[in-house]
Amino acid sequence: MSDDRERTRAQWQAAASGWRHREPLFQAFTWPVALRMAAVAQIGDGHRVLDVGCGIGDPTLQVAVLVGPHGRVLGIDLVEDMVATARERAAALGLAHVEFRAGDVGTIDLPPATFDAVLARWSLIYVADVARTLARLRATLVPGGRIAVAGWAPPEVNPWVTIPLAALARVVPLPPVDAAIPGIFHLSSDGALDAALERAGFHDVRQQRVQLSQFAHDAAEFWAVLTDMAGPLAGLLAGLAGEERARVLAEVTDRIAVFRSGDVFRVPAQAQLAWGVA
């Protein structure tokens, strides 16, 4: 595994326990993307689906419900601890037709011409060779199979992460955001994901933004979700010294106040979603 992939695996490994403990909040944040991906991929009863970067089983488990017991769903993720939680959740729901494997999408053995749909939610953005990865995924689809990939929209519409990043940058040096390299805002510009799909040979390609809302009961819970679940950002926040941590938390608390809705917070976010046909 390359150094970049190993770094990514380690960052998300560190977040795995937070995802497990805050599963309901994660689902409350991300469900609009899961629902829309399943719709544009036209997933239905009996379909066979591959979910790349499945984490703790989202949208894998929702899709497994959609395809029913005569379908099959395979979720893959770099992090074994994420996959372990996904398996536990599947067992609790009685979803015997879903399978999870830990592995790198660039090297894991994937059967050719097998799947009716491939989903990749917030996973392609951490891949250096997007073209090669999409070519691999296209080869797994049956003729006429569909793909749906999601990333984040540009920084200016994602205050849920740019607010803490800006506060963090005042106490520790951070590299500038670069949409051209793997990371949270990779492929975030309008048209970037659909162009990647077209270059990989998909047709009938379309792209749209999906509005999200990060829920928190209070600023402390918003902060806890970031430090527990936000992958690379979580590691940076967790590594702060006491005084630096207090400064960042105070700034984040102040800046998210504008997103208070009654007695809770609803911090906006946007994702990019693109889809096409093999």
Measured distance between the N- and C-terminal CA atoms of the chain, rounded to whole angstroms: 28
State how far the Cα of 45 lies from the Cα of 43, in Å rounded to an integer: 7
Quick check: is 70 in a domain? yes
Of 8-22, 43-57, 172-186, 258-272, the poorest mean pLDDT is in 8-22
State how far the Cα of 92 lies from the Cα of 251, in Å rounded to an integer: 40
Instruction: Report CA-CA distances (Å) from 124 to 6, 87, 187.
Output: 15, 22, 9
Quick check: is 33 in a domain? yes
pLDDT band of 174, cuts 50, 70, 90: confident
Q: What is the pLDDT of residue 196?
A: 97
Quick check: is 167 in a domain? no
Stretch (H or E) spanning 14: helix 3-21
Quick: pLDDT tens for 44-100. 999 999 999 999 999 999 999 999 999 999 999 988 988 999 999 999 999 999 999
> How would DSSP label each residue in 33-51?
HHHHHHHHTT--TT-EEEE
As a whole number, mean pLDDT of residues 18-44 equals 86
Q: What is the pLDDT of residue 197?
A: 98
State how far the Cα of 151 lies from the Cα of 173, in Å rounded to an integer: 25
**Letter string b/e over residues 116-136, b meaning 16 or more CB atoms within 10 A of that residue's CB:** bbbbbbbbbbbbeebeebbeb
State how far the Cα of 22 lies from the Cα of 4, in Å rounded to an integer: 27
Quick check: is 261 in a domain? no
Cis ω on the peptide bond leading into residue 182 (within 30° of 0)? Answer: no
Structural domain for 115, as ranges: 3-154+178-214+270-277
Sign of CA dihedral 259, 262, 264, 270: negative
Quick check: is 244 in a domain? no
Q: What is the pLDDT of residue 13?
A: 56
Return the structure tokens found at 124.
């392609």
Q: Is the pLDDT of residue 159 over 60?
A: yes
Other CB atoms within 10 A of residue 109 CB: 6
As a whole number, mean pLDDT of residues 256-268 equals 95
Quick check: is 247 in a domain? no
Q: What is the pLDDT of residue 221?
A: 87
Quick check: is 7 in a domain? yes
Picking from 132, 124, 128, 137, the residue whose alpha carbon sits closest to that of residue 49 is 137
Read off the CATH number of the domain in which 123 is found.
Answer: 3.40.50.150
Q: Is pTM beyond 0.85 here?
A: yes
- The number of domains in the chain is 1
Q: What is the pLDDT of residue 253?
A: 94
As a whole number, mean pLDDT of residues 186-198 equals 96
Quick check: is 36 in a domain? yes
